[in-house]
Amino acid sequence: MFACLKQSRNSLVLLLILSFYPCIKAQTTQKQIRYTPIGTFYSDYTPKTGAPRQGILMPEGKGKIKIFKEYQSALKMLDWFEYI
């Protein structure tokens, strides 16, 4: 299933990978979808200043993603990608 994903590695997004992981909890009830967070994103930007809408204009901007331990095994193939 994932062999075909490697060939189009630049165009794949994190959500597509996560959609294959059976432990992700998305529950549908009465036209609502509830998602369970799998981690936290940290950056130097504050809610007051906000992150730039076009990140390519701020190449020095950095961030860090902390994935919760129970979801880390689902993301082992992220090293196939140049960007997430």
pLDDT digits (tens, 9 = 90+) for 15-27: 444 454 555 455 5
Residue 54 burial (CB < 10 Å; 0-12/13-18/19+)? exposed
The model's pTM: 0.46
What pLDDT is recorded for position 74?
A: 84
What pLDDT is recorded for position 25?
A: 56
| Whether the Cβ atoms of residue 60 and residue 68 lie closer than 8 Å to each other | no
Place of tokens 């959609």: 19
Q: How many other β-carbons are positioned within 10 Å of the β-carbon of residue 17?
A: 19
* Mean pLDDT, range 51-55, rounded to an integer: 71
Residue type, 20: F
